[in-house]
Amino acid sequence: MKIEVIEKDDQYILNHCTKYLARESRDARHDFGQYAPGDERAAICEAWRFPVVDAHWDGSSAAGSYPYNDVTFVYDGRRTAPASVAVLGTFGPLHSPVPLRPLVFAGEPTGFFATTVRVPKGQVHTYKFAVDGDYTLDPVNPQRTVLDNGEPWSRFFTDACTVPLSLSRTERDLLGRLVCHLLPFRLDENRRLIRGVYESLDRASRDEEFPLAYLLDDEVGTVNYIDKLIARQEQHHADDYHTCLKIIGEIIRSRFGGLDPAAAPAELYADLYRQMETEKVDGWDYSRYGSPRFFLLLLRRHAMTGAFVHPKHGGNSGAAGWMYLESRFRDARDGTLFDWRRALESPLGHNTDYRG
Amino acid sequence: MDGESAEVVVIGSGAGGAPLTHTLVRAGHRVVVLEKGPLLRTQAQSPTGLSDFKRDECFATGSEKRITVQGVANTGESYFSSHVEPDLNDEPHVYRDSDGRDRVTIEGYTAQVVGGGTQLYGGVSPRFTPEDLRLATLNASRGDLRDDPGGEVRREARDWPLDYAALEPYYTKAEELVGINGTWDGQAKVPSRDRYQPPLEPNPISAYAAAGMDALGMRRYRTPLAVITRDHAPSGRTVPADTDTVKTAFVNRYGDPLGLKSNAWVSLLAPLRDVNGSGGLDLRANCTVTHLEADGPRVTKVHYRDPGGRPRTLAAGTVVVACSAIESVRLLQLSGLLDPAFDKRVNANGLLGRYFLTHCFGGAQCIVPERSDKSKTLDSDWATDHCARPEWFRAQGLWAGGVIYNNTSDGALPLSLARTWHAMDMDTMWKGYLYDTSLVGNGFEDYLEESFGRRLSVAFMANQVPQRENRIELHPSVKDKWGRPVAYIIKTWHPHDRALMDALAEQCRQILVRGGDVRDVSSGSVGGSVVRIANHVLGGARFGTNAGDSVLDPDCRAWNFDNLYVTDGAFMPTSGSANPTLTIEANSFRVGDVLLDRVGRP
Ligand SMILES: Cc1cc2nc3c(=O)[nH]c(=O)nc-3n(C[C@H](O)[C@H](O)[C@H](O)COP(=O)(O)OP(=O)(O)OC[C@H]3O[C@@H](n4cnc5c(N)ncnc54)[C@H](O)[C@@H]3O)c2cc1C
């Protein structure tokens, strides 16, 4: 496996550093519940932005560029001033760390180090920094994972990733049922419509336009979107999901005669929603989670976003949410009234001026 | 590099900072621009061929964060911001709400990026009217003003220290160099030269607004928009082969990856990169100015934090502050906090931060019978100056008027439709949708059926009465991530503002009612909310001819300083009957000529 290092100028990288990392305050201004007390990352703004995952452009073609991301690793050496920093990770050969170069402002080193590598979309990787030869976790990135040998590593994932990271199989199945009820796709007519859209795609266009669509179901990738969101930007909501999915699973199971909640009829979910709205849910363990309504609102925001977000965020799988709107709303001559492909980058959309 | 010096230092690269920089660099001078935000480039500018702005709804309104600022009433609440708005926990603005309690807000920020607020703006770019600049004279003998028992409106109205004729050449210059499309026929303002590019075809949904304006006898024109529709020679920008694809609905709150939206960076600063008179443009992004240092009447040094946060200084011959009004006032106040002599000069009459202004604004919305593809739009199609004319506002017992235009990109894309549903301001983003728990299953279907491509709104933008008590201060306890007091916004609406907003909201409502077979018409304004600023951050360092009554002289120079200028929206003594940016730019071009007299013409 050869690593492709991408040239980015210092301006690009500093653009991603100053707002988030430069500061005098060490207060936990950015702790929304995702950090243990005393964790220094709580002082950093939007620490989840590191490493920076961005689009890739190979200089010539959308088709050749679309399957990749540029991933920029940043090491903040302002306080310790290391002589050398490198990154070692599963995105490249494990025996050859990629060196980070010092970033310069007005001819002087800033203390930041960085490098950018090309990584395929849809992947999850672990990495560590080698700082003056010593291996350390990324002190900024909140994503960490413990490998089978008990070793903690820093982690990142690229766009349109469908590898489950936060939620268990059971949690995902239950969540799928929950979000289906919130979205319009579950209605028979719409379900047919979405199926139809997919089936009408021939093999080639499915590969070309939606190379990353992985499965079609009624929740159009919303569960995957949430799985990724609580792994990164909204890590502070991960516990809301674990706790509430457990409680809800228990409630539905008990209301469904002890059977698998994922197989329960839609009405049971509808009833549950109505109760959650009022904060009075029979059987809810309020000592474990105080406000079922809070969770409902969270779920609704995430479900809406996951269904119609740009597919690179892991939801709106295969742009099915957009295709639903595209086919749902037509003018008198059967032209679409949501021509989303026009503005968006090829090969996802049809625009070749804009590269994404 | 400390011990560095520069002939001219401009702080802030937005609408107030870029035009004069353009003038000076074109004339062969070296200008250092210190800009707090990043330098985000278009696809064509970027060495990698990829823009830092994306057509991605998550860029305009990102993931959830929570307010952790202590000692305010909204600690713990969620908020959502764009990637170029400052982080509220690091650099909050605090306002005093009508219940007397302090809250953190995202209102009152424009955008922190090279180009400033113009990177995110909708680009609605009308001129102010001649009357806007002489509201004191115009109202001097009025006894018929509504809801003004104390006579404040007449007392507080101010003429600008220059008239429309003096500003006119700079409007024309701004229209030409910035790159604006629109039409003149039907406007209440007359240009000396027509520099507009032709507009694109309006979105079909705008036909309802046009019909309503016609039915009411309101002359209409194509809303001037800061988006190029043809190749633009002054900035070297070119448009796509199919110009209709310029309309994407990724306009308001989105940076433009192709640079077709005419922001201060692509229009005015980027073209200077090749100009190298005696050094040309020295643009330093990610550099936050912390305070100014003076020796008597001369500002001598600019103190700033470099991209890594290291403190640096720059000795300066002339200093221009253009951080957008709230932050400019704050920068001057922070400088005064560190040096009482500075404070005494900049705030001799106690007016610094006073007469803070935004716009009276509001409008009406409805559901139209026929659906349109709203993803094919810029920010607006039709505007009318009907209610900006003195005949109209006099007859209404109002002191001033406002422009009315229809919005086209609002709720045009699926996520923006949801998150702005019943959202009153930036701070309530998502909340309307979330609390409307009927929007599930079939309810969701109905909601899409009624809303997607069928919501039409018409907005007005009008003068706010200047009030001394509307002000920017340093907050007594809340500090930013550098340990500096944050801006504290204290403002209310005058009863006359409310009367004016009601009258204009009613006109907007009428436009929709008369526009066709529409339904669910509602109207309203920001009169009930003290936090709304509409991204129009004005006043607080007004200019004038009387040193006892203003912070800046007619050249926008601080009265008791020899070399300190303020050129963002802070200079305005009244807020005008239209969106402010073109006027900020025109004035900055004017000050650019003043500065040329100082530093030398070529
Ligand atoms: C979403 C949105 C839509 C808008 N739509 C319209 C519209 O349609 N029409 C219209 O006329 N106006 C619109 N506006 C308003 C418009 O953006 C502003 O009027 C305009 O940008 C104000 O110019 P300014 O020079 O005062 O500030 P800005 O253009 O914001 O420039 C200020 C600059 O100073 C920088 N700065 C701040 N503090 C410091 C510091 N301490 N050191 C260094 N740099 C600093 C900031 O980062 C910023 O780049 C909109 C704004 C937004 C956000």
Q: Which of A7, A11, A19 to mutate to test the interface with B (most CBs of B within 10 A)?
A: A19
| Cα–Cα distance, B363 to B525 (Å, whole number) | 6
User: Is B421 inside any structural domain?
Assistant: no
> Is B70 an 8 Å CB contact of chain A?
no
**pTM of the full structure:** 0.97
What pLDDT, on the 0 to 100 scale, is given for residue B434? 78
Domain match, A323 and A184 both: yes
Beta partners for B598? Answer: none
Question: Residue B528 — very low, low, confident or very high, per pLDDT cuts 50/70/90?
Answer: confident
- The pLDDT value given to residue A209: 46
Judgement on whether residues A184 and A329 belong to the same structural domain of the protein: yes
Same domain, A76 and A127: yes
Pick B364 or A186 by higher pLDDT: B364
Is residue B212 domain-resident? yes
The answer to the question of residue B427 being in a domain is no
Does the pLDDT value for residue B83 go beyond 80? Answer: yes
| Identity of the residue in A56, A59, A313 whose CB atom sits nearest the CB atom of B58 | A313
Distance CA B593, CA A182 (A): 59
Sign of CA dihedral A330, A335, A337, A340: positive
Summarize pLDDT for A110-135 with one digit per residue, the tens. Answer: 999 999 999 999 999 999 999 999 99
For the record, the structure tokens of A51 come out as 């490493």
List pocket residues of ligand 1, CB cut-off 6 Å.
B 11-17, 34-37, 110-113, 116-118, 120-125, 252-253, 288-289, 322-325, 327, 331, 379, 535-536, 568-569, 579-581, 584
Output B527 or B462, whichever has higher pLDDT.
B462
Q: What's the pLDDT at B433?
A: 79
In a domain, B417, yes or no: no
The answer to the question of residue A133 being in a domain is: yes
Is A349 part of any domain?
Answer: no
**In this structure, is residue B52 part of a structural domain?**
no
pLDDT score for B445? 81
Which of A158-172, B309-323, B381-395, B439-453 comes out lowest in average pLDDT?
A: B439-453
| A277 in the same domain as A229 | yes
Tens digit of each residue's pLDDT (9 = 90 or more) over A102-111: 999 999 999 9
A198 shares its domain with A129: no
Which one of A125, A157, A189 terminates a domain?
A157
Q: What is the CATH number of the domain that holds A65?
A: 2.60.40.10
Residue B577 domain boundaries: 5-47+57-412+453-599
Structural domain contains residue A356? no
- Residue B321 is part of a domain; what is its CATH number? 3.50.50.60
Total number of domains in chain A: 2
- B420 band by pLDDT with thresholds 50, 70 and 90: confident
Q: What is the C-alpha separation between A262 and A179, in angstroms, rounded?
A: 12
Q: Is A294 on the interface with B (CB under 8 A)?
A: no
Residues near B229 by beta carbon (within 8 Å), at least 6 away in sequence: B181, B197, B198, B199, B200, B239, B243, B246
- Predicted confidence at residue B117, as pLDDT, reads 97
pLDDT at residue B426 is higher than 80: no
- What b/e readout covers B234-270, taking b as 16+ CB neighbours within 10 angstroms? ebebebeeebebbbbbbbbbbbbbbbbbbbbbbbbbb
What is the C-alpha to C-alpha distance for residues B97 and B117, in angstroms, rounded to an integer? 25
Q: How do beta strands B288-295 and B298-305 pair?
A: antiparallel
Choice among A148-152, A203-207, B203-207 with the minimum mean pLDDT: A203-207
For the question of an ipTM over 0.90, the answer is yes
Helices A222-229 and A169-182 pack at an angle, to 10 degrees, of: 120
3-state secondary structure (DSSP) of residue A152 = strand
DSSP string, B81-144: --TTSPPTTTS-EEEE-TTS-EEEESTT----STTGGGGT---B-PPPPGGGGBHHHHHTT---
Same domain, A23 and A60: yes
What pLDDT, on a 0 to 100 scale, did the predictor assign at position A214? Answer: 41
Read off the pLDDT of each residue in A172-200 and give the average, rounded to a whole number.
75
**A200 pLDDT above the threshold of 70:** no
In a domain, A352, yes or no: no
**Is the Cβ of A5 closer than 8 Å to some Cβ of chain B?**
no
A190 and A149 in a common domain: no
Given A157, A180, A195, which residue is the final one in a domain? A157
The identity of residue A102, as a single letter, is P
**In terms of domains, do A213 and A325 share one?**
yes
The SS3 of residue A100 is strand
Q: If you average pLDDT over residues B131-142, what whole number do you get?
A: 97
- CA dist A29 to A25, A79, B226, Å? 9, 20, 37
Which of B39, B90, B110 should be mutated for ligand 1, with most atoms under 8 A from CB? B110
Establish if A190 belongs to a structural domain: yes
- Distances B63 to A42, A46, A140, A302, B503 between C-alpha atoms, Å: 17, 10, 18, 10, 38
Alpha helices in B124-194 (DSSP H): 135-139, 152-156, 164-174
Where does the pLDDT of residue A201 fall: very low under 50, low under 70, confident under 90, or very high at 90 and above? low
B32 part of contact set with chain A, CB < 8 Å: no
| Contact at CB, A329 and B87, closer than 8 angstroms | no
Cα distance between residue B526 and residue B532, in whole Å:
6
The answer to whether residue A200 is domain-embedded is: yes
Whether A207 has a pLDDT exceeding 80, the answer reads: no
As a whole number, mean pLDDT of residues B167-192 equals 97
In a domain, B174, yes or no: yes
Reported as half-sphere exposure (CB side, CA atoms, 13 A), residue A239 has a value of 9
Distance B36 CA to ligand 1 centre (A): 12
Give residue B392's identity as a one-letter amino acid code: W
Contacts of A8 in chain B (CB under 8 A): 47-48
Instruction: Examine residue A5 and state whether it is found in any structural domain, yes or no.
Output: no
CA distance B79 to B88: 9
User: Min CA distance, A221 vs chain B (Å)?
Assistant: 16
In a domain, B431, yes or no: no
**Is the Cβ–Cβ distance between A211 and A347 less than 8 Å?**
yes
Percent composition of chain A: helix, strand, coil (DSSP 3-state, to 5): 40, 20, 45
Report CA-CA distances (Å) from A343 to A348, B55, B247, B248.
Answer: 10, 8, 8, 6
Please report the sign of the dihedral spanned by the C-alpha atoms of residue B344, residue B349, residue B350, residue B352. Answer: negative
Average pLDDT over residues A162-185: 89
- Ligand 1 centroid–CA B110 distance in Å is 4
Closest alpha carbon to B35 in B327, B358, B336, B334: B327
Residue with tokens 């010593």: A134
CA pair distance B382, B207, nearest whole angstrom: 9
Q: Give me the amino acid identity at B105.
A: T
Indicate whether A130 and A180 sit together in one domain.
Answer: no
Q: Give residues 251 to 280 of A whose Cβ lies within 8 Å of B.
A: 270, 273, 277
Are residues A186 and A114 part of one domain? no
Domain around A60? 10-157
Are A89 and A206 contained in the same domain?
A: no
pLDDT over 80 (residue B1): no
- In this structure, the number of other CB atoms found within 10 A of the CB of residue B140 comes to 11
Instruction: State how many domains chain B has.
Output: 1
Residue A46 sits in the same domain as residue A68: yes
Mean pLDDT, chain B, integer: 95
Q: Report residue A215's pLDDT band, with 50, 70 and 90 as the boundaries.
A: very low
